[in-house]
Amino acid sequence: MKSLARVGVAIVCLWCTPGVHVQKATEVFIPIGQSTGLSGKVTLLGKVAAVNAQDQTITVSDQAGTHLVRLSERTKIYVDLSRQRSPNRRGTLADLRAGFLTEVKFEGNDRGKSVAEWIKVQISE
């Protein structure tokens, strides 16, 4: 009976895993605030208040206050161009500017951590 339960758990884990990888691969195409299971739950939505390229940090302001977000060499930056009816694209730190709407997903889905797994920015020019 225990081995049957283990097989069942293994099947469920393998069945659920591809969805996680698919979302990571397609995250660049999802507009700010529309990431299923993430937006509004584990992400930070706000406006870029400041960018410090030298320290690899940004400050994001939302209704709760300001939050310091650290970037690492693994942090992905996505540019949301859905308002311009253009395809979203990969971005760089130079795309993050004060006043732009942003969404930050922290490593390990932990908003208590300050290292970003990915950052989306909505270009408003």
* Segment 55-101, tens digit of pLDDT: 999 999 999 999 999 999 999 999 999 888 889 899 999 999 999 99
Quote the CA–CA distance of 40 and 2 in Å, as a whole number: 38
Non-local CB neighbours of 94 within 8 Å, separated by 6+ positions: 53
The pTM of the full predicted model, rounded to 2 decimals, is 0.77
Please name each of the domains of the chain with its CATH number.
Answer: 2-122 (2.40.50.320)
pLDDT tens sequence across 102-111: 999 999 876 6
